[in-house]
Copies of this chain bind each other. A is one copy, B any other.
Amino acid sequence: MGRTSDAKERILAAAQSLIEQRGFSALGVAEICKAAGVPKGSFYYFFDSKEVLALAVLDEHWAGQRAGWSRVLSGDAPPLERLRRLFEETEAEQRAGQQSCGTVSGCLFGNLTLEMSNQTEAIRERLQQIFEAQVDMVEEVVAEARQDGEVTVSDSREAARSVVAQLEGQVLFAKLYNNTQRLDALWENCLALLGATAPGAAHRAGASLV
């Protein structure tokens, strides 16, 4: 097939799928090329090294996820309601992955953080940027909820970090137990971490809060 116009996309897709199944360290370039159906020469035409490929996989996955997060988090719904939708979509996405490949694959960024961040500074740095961007997006919504008096937390950024950390921790358990229902707790935990009231808080405009 050689350097067909979609060879790069096929390599990226195959690499992401293989990374989700078996992590990054254990993968070889030959295996990735075989799964992508491209000759090895194509790989090195597009990517100087496995590390460059890993960065490209991270960038592509984040581009897709950022668009999804942005869509969910920037709507017209009340801010907490948007956060709730983020968790619902995360659960739906993990469930879809489980249905298609048999296991909950978890968060690609969390997986690679625990596998790779201590081995490659370039990957560590990229993962930091991605998680900072996630925290930025959540922080913006938390700040809105603060302005609306829906949450009592004093530091929106720190609260956003804790929400993202809870998300990563629960996704880890969803993967471990191969059970997406582990993610059901995210919404109530988010409300607790933000100092909001009962799960209905987002729906009750001007509700008095703790």
Contacts and interface: CB of A to CB of B under 8 A. Distances in A.
A31 to B, nearest CB: 13
Contacts of A192: 192-193, 195
A195 B191 CA distance: 11
26 contacts: A22-B25, A23-B116, A25-B26, A105-B118, A110-B114, A113-B172, A113-B175, A114-B175, A115-B115, A117-B175, A118-B175, A124-B176, A124-B178, A127-B176, A128-B176, A162-B166, A162-B185, A165-B166, A165-B189, A166-B169, A167-B169, A168-B169, A168-B172, A169-B170, A172-B172, A193-B193
Given A22-B25, A25-B25, A114-B115, 10 more contacts: A110-B172, A111-B115, A113-B175, A118-B175, A124-B178, A162-B166, A162-B170, A165-B166, A165-B172, A172-B172
A168 B165 CA distance: 8
Nearest to A107: B114
Nearest to A164: B169
B131 A118 contact: no
Interface in A111-135: 111, 113-119, 124, 127-128, 131
> What band does the interface of chain A fall in when counting residues whose beta carbon is under 8 Å from B?
35 or more
A173 B131 contact: yes
Contacts of A131: 173, 176
A177 B195 CA distance: 26
A103 interface: yes
A167 B23 CA distance: 23
Contact of A23 (B25, B124, B165): B25
Interface in A84-111: 103-106, 110-111
Contacts of A70: none
Interface in A188-210: 189, 192-193, 195, 210
Contact of A113 (B103, B119, B176, B185): B176
Nearest to A111: B114
A178 B113 CA distance: 11
